[in-house]
Amino acid sequence: MAKKITKVYLRSFNLKMAGLHAVQAIAILLLSRNFTLPVSTSFLNFDRATQSLVPATRTLFEVPLALLVVAFLALSSIAHLIISTVYNKSYNQGLSKGMNKARWIEYSLSASVMMVAIAMLVGIYDLSLLIGIFGLVALMNLMGLVMEVHNQTTEKTNWLSYIVGCIAGIIPWVIVALSFWSSAQYGNGEIPTFVYWIFVSIFVFFNAFAINMFLQYKGIGKWKDYMYGERMYIVLSLVAKSALAWQVFFGTLRP
């Protein structure tokens, strides 16, 4: 018989995850070469020769790719550390009710940074579009928070926020897929193979979070115990972030 997952176990597990994310963040920061990607803005410019408005682009600043990777790893490390220390009492109270507010707040930041990094790797540099991608992924995760909070007051599970979150979450992937298609259709260069692996692997992991929530609320198998689903969220978070971080490192940041 499987050992029951306890709050004491989850506190220790969160503390270990804080350490694992922190070690990876430090390793990426110290080992990565200096590699930057541009962030640009698009606007209309008046062409006096043709007396018409024409589209133009200007680079606003450069973003070190390594810092984006370090950012989402560090955000997870800090969140796990807070959960296992100063927030632990509130965390345990939430678990007893079948929710973890801190999880969704952290994901709304870290997963959004992850998606921005993926978007930039496929050539999406426009600031407005990057902000939109960040915002949609943040909204997707905050809908997870709404799902857990709202269903504290319902007798039967209400799936509306889950559905809205899934819709918000799929749009950034459509945008990235369109960028892939445009590069293949009109571009002169080939997108590196590792970027395709990133797209497929992280897309699978993002969907795994939604499946985990579905199994929790349906109470299927081991997911009847909310604590089991909580541990799965923690494992999925570690694996997804680690997979993205090291794929980016070996594909682009390795000296």
pLDDT tens string 177-192: 999 888 878 877 677 8
| Beta strands per DSSP E along the chain | 36-47, 52-64
Determine the pLDDT at residue 37: 96
CA–CA–CA angle 107, 81, 9 (5° rounding): 95
Distance CA 212, CA 12 (A): 22
Mean pLDDT of the chain: 94
Determine the pLDDT at residue 1: 44
CA distances from residue 248 to 32, 50, 147 in whole angstroms, order as listed? 10, 44, 32
Mean pLDDT of 237-247: 97
Determine the pLDDT at residue 2: 55
Quote the pTM value.
0.94
Determine the pLDDT at residue 243: 97
* 13-27, 38-52, 194-208, 234-248: segment of lowest average pLDDT: 38-52
Long-range (24+ apart) CB contacts under 8 A made by 86-91 are: 88/11
